[in-house]
Amino acid sequence: MVLLRILELTFIALWVMSFVTQIVIPLLRGTPFFPFFRTKRTLADELTQVREELDQERLRGRIQATKLEADFLRWENVLADPEVKTQTEERGEK
C-alpha cells in the first residue's frame, strides 16, 4: 500500500513538473509550448541555416573569382588593344 502511495505521489509530482516546465513557463515568457519537443527541430533549423550560410560564402567566393578573371581578361584586352589598332592601320581601316 505504501509503495502505491509513493508511486502515486511520484506520478503527480512528475505531471506537475512537466506541466509547469512545458506550459506555464513558456506561457509567461511568450515562447511556444512544449519546448522539450522543439529542441531537435531548433537544432535542425540551425543546421539548415548554417548550411545556407556556407553555400552563400561559397557563391561569394565564386563571384569574387569570376570578377578577378573578368578584370584579368579586361586588362589582357587593354594590353592587346594597341596591337589591334596597329594591324587595322596597316590594312588602311579606321
Domains of the chain, residue spans: 1-33, 36-94
C-alpha cell at 42: 531548433
C-alpha cell at 8: 502515486
Q: What is the mean pLDDT of residues 54-78?
A: 92
Q: What is the pLDDT of residue 84?
A: 53
CA 82, distance to chain mean position in Å, is 48
C-alpha cell at 67: 570578377
Q: Pick the residue with more confidence: 39 or 64? A: 64
pTM for this entry: 0.42
C-alpha 47/C-alpha 29 separation (Å) is 25
Q: Pick the residue with more confidence: 1 or 90? A: 1
Q: What is the mean pLDDT of residues 22-33?
A: 88
Give the number of other Cβ atoms within 10 Å of residue 8's Cβ.
10
Query: Is it the case that residue 81 has pLDDT exceeding 80?
Result: no
Give the 3-state secondary structure of residue 64. Answer: helix
